[in-house]
């Protein structure tokens, strides 16, 4: 289900791996000129970074339990730090945790806290701060991170710089779960978040929710070498995609997020502007059917629907090519343990016809769509309708109001549009959508083999074996679940070429929401 994060990308851009492959193939010098601002030597200090960001509103607050979208995540990571950072290659690396050890069974963890880190107030970071910060998201709380930490049984302080976490069910992904953007580290006992006291690179100057926020660099050396390079950062909320684009073109901001895929190609041609594309990290767009109800309980009908949707056409036309083709599960191609070898349900009207006939269903199938589900849902539904009609299958599109869509339609109607956000781990991605009897199992998927694998994979220390288990999970969903996931959106940022350090993380846009910390002016 919905996460407020959304959007696109471009063809000009590249992630770092593609870039390196390209450089190797054509010779470094040939590619260097066209290279995005990613590896231009050592970072330099200075300058004011001006960001134009969508994904916030006048109701934003600093309380980490209310973060839901890009603006507050970016702001938060300027002022505070997480415990764990996910590196550009997808590995969980230490941030305020220096490192950790796990016992077999993945239920007993020891985390070492980085020494010599101080908050802006001068207080030294210790285990109590860390424990308090994690506990904000446990127990009676409305924190969205609560579910990620639900398996934690106990957190013990071993020393001022070491804690132990015991879990009811082992889970090797605990460090990933702790990298969640809600889990920032605040001083022990903090209840008033409006005066941020953090270990991050910047200090807050001014904050007006829904308008802008400004920051200055914290005096002295930031504890992360080569990070926190700007003298000042100014972040403006720009909700309108056209306004954001103009702001970048007219030089009023240096970087923007969520470029409209329809104009991304044009924007890339502007002088001094580059795009940065984060593929496989955006929202997963799908139509979901309740497979415990007729007619969707008929597996042949589901196969007909899966083979009868022209995914490529939707990606090209509805998302202007800034998306990758989905294969009926929510695991993105950049996610660790994604299985690139799984069978793809490519568009095949003949097969669709065959399965539909076999299903022996009378009458049309009804699909409910709304722009309230995601932007492009109606158009995607129309392409679906058209591509199904080539297989002789009639799809009735019912357009419903976007207002209250998540309350009135999603989870209630037998076949409707949905998007799922990118989750920190494959386990989380699969658990939240497909585990039997969970609130958001929007296809009512219930497969004993999958249930068993999902739990076993959480504690499987043998990497190849774990990968195999997750591959099988993806296959089981793709073949049996009631989800027609046809596209995974890319994020597109655009930035001034004077800006360096805009790495592509594969997780979130704006350099994993850390552009203010990672970037610099060349």
Footprint of other proteins (CB under 8 A)? 1-4, 52, 57-61, 63, 66, 68, 140-147, 206, 208-212, 236-240, 242-243, 246-247, 249-250, 252-253, 401, 403-404, 406-408, 421, 439
Which 3 state secondary structure label does DSSP give 232? strand
CA dist 38 and 48 (Å) reads 19
> Which residue is associated with the tokens 């005096």?
219
What the block records as the tokens of 456 is: 């076993």
Min dist CB 213 to other proteins, Å, is: 10
**Residue 149's closest CA among 180, 190, 113, 191?**
180
Min dist CB 268 to other proteins, Å, is: 16
Q: Which is nearer to other proteins, 300 or 371 (CB)?
A: 371
DSSP 253-289: -SEESS--HHHHHHHHHSTTEEEEEETT-SPEEEEEE
Q: Which is nearer to other proteins, 5 or 460 (CB)?
A: 5
Q: Which is nearer to other proteins, 180 or 460 (CB)?
A: 180
Q: Which is nearer to other proteins, 221 or 439 (CB)?
A: 439
Q: Which is nearer to other proteins, 307 or 434 (CB)?
A: 434
Min dist CB 112 to other proteins, Å, is: 29
> Which residue is associated with the tokens 């082992």?
170
DSSP 424-492: SSHHHHHHHHHSTT-TT-TT----HHHHHHHHHHTT---HHHHHHHHHHHHHHHHHHSSEEEEEEEPEE
Q: Which is nearer to other proteins, 52 or 519 (CB)?
A: 52
Determine how many CB atoms are found less than 10 A away from the CB of residue 233: 27
Min dist CB 204 to other proteins, Å, is: 14
Q: Which is nearer to other proteins, 105 or 251 (CB)?
A: 251
DSSP 17-42: HHHHHHHHHH-HHHHHTT--TT--SS
Min dist CB 330 to other proteins, Å, is: 13
The H-or-E segment that residue 395 falls in is: strand 395-399
Min dist CB 303 to other proteins, Å, is: 30
Q: Which is nearer to other proteins, 140 or 462 (CB)?
A: 140
Give the full edge-to-edge strand order of the sheet including 415-420: 323-325, 483-489, 284-289, 415-420, 365-369, 395-399
Min dist CB 47 to other proteins, Å, is: 19
User: Is the C-alpha dihedral spanning 248, 253, 257, 258 positive or negative?
Assistant: negative
CA dist 403 and 125 (Å) reads 45
Torsion from C-alpha of 152, 157, 159, 160, nearest 10 degrees: 100
Min dist CB 422 to other proteins, Å, is: 11
Return the bridge partners of 399, or none.
369
Min dist CB 37 to other proteins, Å, is: 23
For the chain, the distance separating the N- and C-terminal CA atoms, rounded to the nearest angstrom, is 40
What the block records as the tokens of 330 is: 């929510």
Min dist CB 432 to other proteins, Å, is: 9
Q: Which is nearer to other proteins, 18 or 141 (CB)?
A: 141
Min dist CB 72 to other proteins, Å, is: 10
Q: Which is nearer to other proteins, 229 or 257 (CB)?
A: 257
Which 3 state secondary structure label does DSSP give 312? helix
Q: Which is nearer to other proteins, 30 or 242 (CB)?
A: 242
- Burial (CB count within 10 angstroms: exposed 0-12, middle 13-18, buried 19+), residue 188: middle
């Amino acid at each position: 289900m919905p996460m407020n994060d959304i959007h696109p990308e471009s063809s000009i851009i590249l992630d770092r791996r593609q870039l390196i492959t390209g450089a190797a193939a054509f010779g470094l010098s040939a590619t260097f000129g066209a290279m995005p601002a990613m590896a231009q030597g050592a970072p330099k200090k200075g300058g004011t970074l001006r960001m134009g960001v969508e994904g916030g509103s006048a109701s934003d607050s600093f309380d980490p339990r209310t973060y839901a979208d890009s603006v507050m995540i970016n702001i938060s990571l300027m002022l505070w730090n997480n415990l764990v950072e996910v590196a550009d290659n997808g590995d969980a690396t230490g941030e305020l945790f220096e490192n950790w050890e796990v016992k077999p069974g993945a239920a007993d963890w020891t985390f070492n806290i980085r020494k010599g880190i101080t908050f802006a107030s001068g207080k030294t970071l210790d285990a109590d701060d860390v424990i308090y910060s994690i506990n904000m998201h446990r127990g009676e709380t409305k924190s969205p991170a609560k579910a990620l930490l639900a398996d934690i049984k106990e957190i013990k302080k071993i020393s001022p710089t070491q804690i132990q976490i015991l879990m009811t069910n082992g889970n090797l992904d605990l460090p990933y779960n702790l990298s969640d953007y809600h889990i920032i580290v605040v001083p022990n006992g903090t209840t008033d978040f409006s005066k941020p006291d953090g270990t991050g690179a910047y200090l807050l100057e001014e904050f007006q929710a829904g308008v802008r926020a400004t920051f200055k660099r914290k005096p002295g050396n930031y504890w992360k070498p080569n990070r926190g390079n700007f003298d000042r950062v100014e972040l403006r909320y720009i909700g309108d995609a056209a306004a954001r684009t103009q702001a970048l073109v007219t030089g009023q901001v240096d970087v923007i997020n969520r470029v409209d895929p329809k104009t991304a190609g044009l924007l890339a041609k502007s002088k001094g502007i580059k795009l940065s594309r984060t593929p496989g990290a955006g929202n997963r767009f799908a139509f979901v059917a309740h497979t415990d109800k007729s007619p969707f309980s008929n597996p042949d009908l589901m196969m007909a629907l899966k083979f009868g949707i022209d995914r490529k056409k939707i990606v090209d036309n509805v998302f202007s090519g800034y998306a990758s083709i989905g294969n009926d599960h929510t695991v993105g191609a950049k996610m660790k343990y994604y299985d690139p070898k799984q069978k793809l349900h490519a568009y095949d009207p003949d097969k669709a016809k065959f399965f539909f006939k076999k299903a022996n269903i009378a009458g049309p199938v009804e699909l409910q769509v709304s722009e309230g589900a995601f932007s492009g849902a109606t158009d995607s539904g129309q392409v679906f309708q058209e591509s199904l009609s080539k297989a002789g299958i009639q799809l009735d599109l019912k357009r419903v109001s976007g207002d209250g869509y998540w309350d009135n339609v999603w989870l209630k109607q037998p076949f409707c549009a949905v998007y799922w956000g990118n989750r920190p781990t494959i386990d989380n991605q699969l658990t939240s959508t497909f585990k039997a009897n969970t609130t958001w199992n929007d296809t009512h998927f219930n497969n004993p083999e999958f249930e068993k694998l999902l739990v076993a994979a959480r504690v499987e220390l043998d990497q190849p074996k774990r990968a195999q288990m997750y591959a099988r999970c993806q296959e089981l969903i793709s073949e049996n679940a009631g989800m027609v996931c046809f596209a995974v959106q890319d994020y597109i940022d655009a930035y001034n070429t004077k800006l360096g350090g805009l790495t592509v993380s594969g997780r979130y846009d704006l350099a994993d929401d850390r552009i203010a910390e990672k970037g610099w002016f060349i």
